[in-house]
Amino acid sequence: MKESRGQNYVGDATFYTEWRGGYGSCGLDRALYDPFYVCALSRHFMALPPGMTNPNNHPKCDPQWCVEVKGIRGTIVVKVSDTCWGCQAYDVDVADAVYHYLDDPNKGRVRMNWRFVDCRTNPPGVK
């Protein structure tokens, strides 16, 4: 699948805690990124390209790939850092520490709009 920045997706937004103390499928050193502003994408987006065996080299793990998520409470940008094995194709799993910027964490799963953005011009954080 060829994704483009700016293309809108709609899926369930959930949150996870696995980013704490781990590298995720991208193998990112959390010391290089704000650990709160990370996300995991579904296998639909994180499946390895043909011939690739190391998920750390996945194109979405490149420093330029971020995700902008819009919730009823606001908008955040998060760095792609992991694979969400339980997510449906267009779901996005964000770090638990930032989900409250999008919606009430007690809901746990809410439909939201999101899109890919370039981290170099739109860095992770609350927008």
Give mean pLDDT in consecutive 10-residue pieces for the chain, a chain of 127 residues: 75 86 78 76 94 93 94 96 94 94 95 96 93
Closest CA to 94 of 118, 122, 74, 121: 74
Domain tally, the chain: 1
CATH number reported for the structural domain that contains residue 105 in this entry: 2.40.40.10
The pLDDT of residue 6: 74
Contact 49, 36 (CB under 8 A): no
Domain with 30 in it: 8-126
Identify the pLDDT of residue 34: 64
- Cα(77)–Cα(54) distance, rounded to whole angstroms? 25
1 falls within a domain = no
**End-to-end CA gap in the chain:** 28
Residue 28 is predicted with a pLDDT of 80
Beta strands in 4-90 (DSSP E): 8-16, 38-42, 65-70, 75-84
pLDDT of residue 2: 56
pLDDT recorded at residue 107:
95
Residue 43 CA to residue 25 CA, distance in Å, equals 11
